Structure 1
Amino acid sequence: MTCDRLVCANCAGPVSEGRCAVCRAHRARMQREGPFAALSPTALIALLITLITVALLAQRVATA
């Protein structure tokens, strides 16, 4: 999830604007955690399976 769609419960403003200390703290925490922190465990597993499948297909094509 990105900060663009989050609404702060403290000030009712968009978190991306950083109107209050709570917004700024949450925005900073999301930026520190990186892009994969927002993905659910199911999405991470699906991404891993997809990458393994692509790697196996590439290996078969290379050896054929």
Structure 2
Amino acid sequence: MCCEHLICANCAGPVSEGRCSVCRGQRAQMHHETGGLSFSAMVAVLLTLLIAVAFLTTTIH
């Protein structure tokens, strides 16, 4: 989702322009979240890798 068509409830301006602190904060949050995996997805991948390593090390010995 992009912020081009969103209107700020605080200043009634387009969020993409960043007129107030609420606009700037929301714009930064939206652009930050679209950059990669979410925190919960990263934790799930890390746990899966740890379980796989633990399984492999116990089956080898």
Match of 1:29 in 2: 29
Match of 1:6 in 2: 6
Answer 1 or 2: which has greater helix percent: 1
Separation in structure 1 between the aligned mates of residue 21 and residue 11 of structure 2, nearest angstrom: 10
Q: Could you say what secondary structure the match of 2:4 adopts?
A: helix
Residue identity matched to 2:20: C
The percentage of counterpart residues that share the same residue type is: 62
Ranges of 4+ aligned residues in structure 1 off by more than 3 Å: none
Note the residue ranges of structure 1 that are not aligned, 5 or more in a row: 38-64
Match of 1:20 in 2: 20
RMSD between aligned residues: 1.9
Task: Identify if the C-alpha distance between structure 1 residues 22 and 36 changes in structure 2 by more than 3 Å, giving closer, same or farther.
Answer: same
Residue identity matched to 1:3: C
Note the residue ranges of structure 2 that are not aligned, 5 or more in a row: 38-61
TM norm structure 1: 0.53
Q: Could you say what secondary structure the match of 2:10 adopts?
A: coil
Aligned residues between the structures? 37
